[in-house]
Structure 1
Amino acid sequence: MISSEQRVFPKLKKRSAIHVVGVTGVEGAAVASFLLAEGFKNLVGHAMCEGKDFERELLSHHKLGGADRKRELLDCVRGWGIERRLGDDYLRGIEEADVIFAPQSWELHQQANAPLFVLRPKLLNIMHLYLDLAPCATIGVTGSDGKTTTTHLIAHLLNSAGRKAWLSGNYREGEQILSRIRELDPEGFLVLEVSNRHLNFGLAKHPDIAVVTNVTQNHMTEYENFVEYCDVKERLLGSESVAVLNADNACTRHMGDHCKERLLFSRYPDAKAVGAFVSKMEIHDVGGFICDVSDICLPGEHNLENALAAITVVRSLGLSGEEISSGLKTFCAVPERLEIVAEINGRTIVNDLAATSMESARRAVEAYAGKPFVLVVGGETKGVDYEPFARTVQRVGAVIVGVQSEVTDVLKALGIPIETHSTVREAVKVAFEKTPRGGTLLLSPAGAFFQSRLMVKEGLSVAELISSLQSHAP
């Protein structure tokens, strides 16, 4: 892990031997393309796949809409002209590298990536390049839940108010902006979603505004304990950062004592928040009234928290209450986060597949409490305690259908009635049949790898699931 005193890019030499691990991935491909465009020639790309599967693997990692975007990516990669070490040659000669760019996920593949643990001091990540090279102010957002919605909302509020803002980082739905980072307007803002795995690398430079939405149990299989996980999240905050923190979260409210400024947001008027807070269904800060809570179009208390975080950020950048209110009213759900994707025979289908943690799914259930809905769950538990989730689904009387997995096993052990099926397709079909007219089918898995493994194993996309339901709808 690099020290906080270092800057990354100026230390890279054009003659340096640079190896890019996971070169078919979103981050790896972006880093390789950028370095080549910057004139670095001594590059080696590593991927676990065989050569014959390289392009298929590349496309599977990039969520690109349309044939033109896919063709663009393939044309770019075909023009790299770098050495590729694939399949059995994966990581061959990696010890010869001066610098290794690794994806945020590298530690998840401990056996395949064993040589990298020894070479950890050489490891860098795409986030180092973003924070080093951005010509504009940077806003970094991390947290156990709410990162994506908060980053999107910050960018939306800034853009709708006539400021320039760009999204990137832990964001697969759009392009990585690294290739255009030199072109960003110095008067604009680069809004980065930052994961705990990015922070495992340590940061050479910190964002100008650093947001921690919340810290709850998540990724517990990757850390010794919850305290270590909290400490990793706090790495986003630098001494020159303005820290935007959740006063209602036991972990985040104590962060950032070393920061230049701390702005706390809260859902309550008496939390001593100096950022945005709620009072009598209105949002205020120390400067007074900003907007009404009803201006927020997204359902759920968790989205209220996300909005308060975003409002605190843009308020610190000078946006008026009128600009914030107007922007909130035009902000729609981010893809796969309580996103309404279809209405079929009087039933609403909500795609919340990004709810891969217990807490994010629990909050989705809270958002639909009091309404008829059927929940589809499944995936890996990440070593998290599911009792809070169990208490919530029991309290609201949720009907649950699951795909046989760690999540369903844990819920059954906690006494939660759940009907399980061996495939995603069957589970969703049965859940739809159980959903009453006027009700909601909520795809909120509460576990990791539901989409990237369980659905991929069946060759399923959300669009195909919807099409299947439409063709068999009662």
Structure 2
Amino acid sequence: METKKWFEKKTILVLGLAKSGFAAAKLLHQNGANVVVNDKQPFKENYAAQKLQEAGFEVICGDHPISLFDTNSFDLLIKNPGIPYENVMVQEALKRNIPIWTEIELAYLLTEARFIGITGSNGKTTTTTLIYEMLKADHKQAKIAGNIGTVACEVAAHAEKDDWIVTELSSFQLMGTKTFRANIGIILNVVDAHLDYHHTRQSYEQAKQAVYKNQLKDDTAIINADDETVCRLAEASSGKKVYFSLTQQIENGACIKNETIYFNQNPIIERKDVVLPGAHNLENILAAICAVKQAGVSNEAIREVLTTFSGVKHRLQYVAEFNGRKFYNDSKATNLLATSKALDAFKQPVILLAGGLDRGNELDGLKEHMGNVKTIVTFGQTAGKFQKLGRELGIHQIKRVDNVEQAVLEAYKLSEANDIILLSPACASWDQFKSFEDRGDMFISAVHMLK
């Protein structure tokens, strides 16, 4: 339902800029709201704040003054997803019973377009991209949004009723939704992640569950039958349930049988014809097929994408081959499960480049996947933990460096022809980088400098 008029004459605090806050502020203003913007970055260094102030917005930068709540009667706070709920402004809003949203809720309220919401601990970006490409290949009206591409509320503002908005959703974004409803909702998998933000596994799961919880009987929940947590969370959906599995035979959904991918017991494509590398990507492919079949996409369009789509940047991305060494950029691997799946994708000897933000977890979950790892080159806050892991596994070549650029050079020095040099950090990037994209870009640049 379209509720744009709800925002007229409301006073709304946008907390945190970046892309989502900037887009939300502009759209709220266009829909008649009185918008106040607060961002911690100093004004002189804050291009987004400067642009908003030039456009006539009230902008407060450099700190988070609680006094804003005394000088304004806020009807709503929209926060950047990355801002924790411990933030003083968020806490003050909670005390005053002011609703707190992320811009995904705003996106939902600004359009009558249909949403496909994709979340999970791993595989979101690849699955989101696959769904979007399959819809396009079948000439459906589709837009891509959320954690990938354009901010969701900006996409929603220009979407038509018959559009599919294919939306990658993080737990941070979903935690700030109240009425958001995914016409097709997917949870790919759930493992321990972002517990520094959510504090408990239960809180993290509840955030993910938002992709199912407001669904109606005409909606569809796409469910990983191999993940007990996902199956349990899907109980919140009132929609049709469609399953995918790598290990089970599925009648209502997608599975693999005799090296062929099936949907609803009908063959779609032989596994050998799928271009996208890595066994873990089969899970993403099955989920994507389940989703697009709900939107009426043909088998021909699905095959067209699966025989041409080779992957997304920073997700087990092939970068180059140099003197017999192949370099792969998996910077998006910010947890143990993602790195485990990357390691399982290779049978050749691997030189693993890993390390990053220390969230307090140990690395034992990697041990059974390290059989092909001959060398570890490590960096960042968790470097000591990776050194310890290597010693426990009897890996003789372990090198600690300062950054990813040095890691590429050291990995090459320690490598031989036919080795895989794999950046798959198993950690978030924020100890040394603004984002995993920045980390991956440094890796790519360093590889090309070698050449």
Could you say which residue in structure 2 is the equivalent of 1:390?
Answer: 367
Could you say which residue in structure 1 is the equivalent of 2:68?
Answer: 93
Is the 1:161–1:323 contact (alpha carbons within 8 Å) kept by the matching residues of 2? yes
Is the 1:33–1:80 contact (alpha carbons within 8 Å) kept by the matching residues of 2? no
Displacement of 1:298 in angstroms is 1.6
Displacement of 1:357 in angstroms is 1.1
Q: Secondary structure at the match of 2:46?
A: helix
Tell me, yes or no, if structure 1 residue 431 matches structure 2 residue 407. no
Q: 1:132 aligns with which of 109, 115, 124?
A: 109
Could you say which residue in structure 2 is the equivalent of 1:193?
Answer: 168
1:129/1:471 Cα in 2 relative to 1: closer, same or farther (>3 Å)? closer
Q: Secondary structure at the match of 1:198?
A: helix
Q: Secondary structure at the match of 1:106?
A: coil
Q: How does 1:383-422 map to 2 (within 5 A)?
A: 383-393=360-370, 395-406=371-382, 408-409=384-385, 412=388, 415-416=392-393, 417=395, 418-422=398-402
- Deviating above 6 A after TM superposition, structure 1's stretches of 4 or more consecutive aligned residues are none
Tell me, yes or no, if structure 1 residue 337 matches structure 2 residue 315. yes
Could you say which residue in structure 2 is the equivalent of 1:68?
Answer: none
> What is the total number of aligned residue pairs between the two structures?
440
1:385/1:253 Cα in 2 relative to 1: closer, same or farther (>3 Å)? farther
Q: Secondary structure at the match of 1:107?
A: coil
Per mean C-alpha deviation after superposition, the further-off stretch among 131-140 and 301-310 is 131-140
1:16/1:314 Cα in 2 relative to 1: closer, same or farther (>3 Å)? same
Per mean C-alpha deviation after superposition, the further-off stretch among 308-317 and 377-386 is 377-386
Q: Which amino acid aligns with 1:15?
A: K
Q: 1:28 aligns with which of 21, 37, 43?
A: 21
1:177/1:202 Cα in 2 relative to 1: closer, same or farther (>3 Å)? closer
Q: Distance in 2 between matches of 1:88 and 1:306?
A: 41
Q: How does 1:68-107 map to 2 (within 5 A)?
A: 77=52, 79-88=54-63, 92-94=67-69, 96=72, 97-107=74-84
Could you say which residue in structure 1 is the equivalent of 2:38?
Answer: 46
Percent identical: 26
Could you say which residue in structure 2 is the equivalent of 1:347?
Answer: 325
Q: Which amino acid aligns with 1:49?
A: Q
Q: Which amino acid aligns with 1:195?
A: S
Displacement of 1:127 in angstroms is 0.7
Could you say which residue in structure 1 is the equivalent of 2:205?
Answer: 230
Is the 2:183–2:215 contact (alpha carbons within 8 Å) kept by the matching residues of 1? no
Could you say which residue in structure 2 is the equivalent of 1:212?
Answer: 187
Q: Which amino acid aligns with 1:153?
A: L
Tell me, yes or no, if structure 1 residue 142 matches structure 2 residue 119. yes
Q: How does 1:290-329 map to 2 (within 5 A)?
A: 290-329=268-307
Q: Which amino acid aligns with 2:35?
A: L
Displacement of 1:185 in angstroms is 3.0
Q: How does 1:254-269 map to 2 (within 5 A)?
A: 254-257=232-235, 258-269=237-248
Q: TM-score, normalised by structure 2?
A: 0.88
Q: Distance in 2 between matches of 1:269 and 1:287?
A: 12
Is the 1:142–1:195 contact (alpha carbons within 8 Å) kept by the matching residues of 2? yes
Displacement of 1:33 in angstroms is 1.8
1:376/1:79 Cα in 2 relative to 1: closer, same or farther (>3 Å)? same
Displacement of 1:367 in angstroms is 0.8
Is the 1:139–1:191 contact (alpha carbons within 8 Å) kept by the matching residues of 2? yes
Tell me, yes or no, if structure 1 residue 444 matches structure 2 residue 401. no
Is the 2:325–2:421 contact (alpha carbons within 8 Å) kept by the matching residues of 1? yes
Could you say which residue in structure 1 is the equivalent of 2:99?
Answer: 122
CA RMSD, 1 decimal? 2.8
Could you say which residue in structure 2 is the equivalent of 1:221?
Answer: 196
Q: Which amino acid aligns with 1:290?
A: I
Q: Distance in 1 between matches of 2:85 and 2:356?
A: 16
Is the 1:297–1:328 contact (alpha carbons within 8 Å) kept by the matching residues of 2? yes
Displacement of 1:432 in angstroms is 2.4
Q: Secondary structure at the match of 2:406?
A: helix
Q: Which amino acid aligns with 1:247?
A: A
Q: Secondary structure at the match of 2:376?
A: strand
Q: Secondary structure at the match of 1:181?
A: helix
Per mean C-alpha deviation after superposition, the further-off stretch among 216-225 and 406-415 is 406-415
Q: Distance in 2 between matches of 1:120 and 1:148?
A: 34
Displacement of 1:400 in angstroms is 1.4
Unmatched segments (≥5 aa) in structure 1: 1-6, 60-73
Q: Secondary structure at the match of 1:284?
A: strand
1:94/1:362 Cα in 2 relative to 1: closer, same or farther (>3 Å)? farther
1:120/1:144 Cα in 2 relative to 1: closer, same or farther (>3 Å)? farther
Could you say which residue in structure 2 is the equivalent of 1:15?
Answer: 9
Is the 2:174–2:210 contact (alpha carbons within 8 Å) kept by the matching residues of 1? yes
1:169/1:471 Cα in 2 relative to 1: closer, same or farther (>3 Å)? closer
Displacement of 1:405 in angstroms is 1.5
Q: Secondary structure at the match of 1:388?
A: helix
Q: Deviations over 1:329-350 (max 9, x none)?
A: 1223111101122333333221
Q: Secondary structure at the match of 1:253?
A: helix
Unmatched segments (≥5 aa) in structure 2: none
Could you say which residue in structure 2 is the equivalent of 1:380?
Answer: 357
Displacement of 1:183 in angstroms is 3.2
1:425/1:276 Cα in 2 relative to 1: closer, same or farther (>3 Å)? same
Q: How does 1:457-472 map to 2 (within 5 A)?
A: 462-463=440-441, 465-472=443-450
Displacement of 1:112 in angstroms is 7.7
Q: Secondary structure at the match of 2:253?
A: coil
Displacement of 1:234 in angstroms is 1.6
Displacement of 1:13 in angstroms is 3.7
Q: Deviations over 1:371-411 (max 9, x none)?
A: 13211111124344532212211x23342110042364266
Is the 2:116–2:165 contact (alpha carbons within 8 Å) kept by the matching residues of 1? yes
Per mean C-alpha deviation after superposition, the further-off stretch among 338-347 and 183-192 is 338-347
1:274/1:386 Cα in 2 relative to 1: closer, same or farther (>3 Å)? farther
Could you say which residue in structure 1 is the equivalent of 2:342?
Answer: 364
1:126/1:89 Cα in 2 relative to 1: closer, same or farther (>3 Å)? closer
Displacement of 1:310 in angstroms is 0.1
Q: Deviations over 1:242-297 (max 9, x none)?
A: 10010111211233234221101011343x45111100111112251122222322
Q: Which amino acid aligns with 1:364?
A: A
Q: Distance in 1 between matches of 2:327 and 2:97?
A: 44
1:445/1:207 Cα in 2 relative to 1: closer, same or farther (>3 Å)? same
Q: Which amino acid aligns with 1:423?
A: N
1:278/1:460 Cα in 2 relative to 1: closer, same or farther (>3 Å)? closer
Tell me, yes or no, if structure 1 residue 275 matches structure 2 residue 268. no
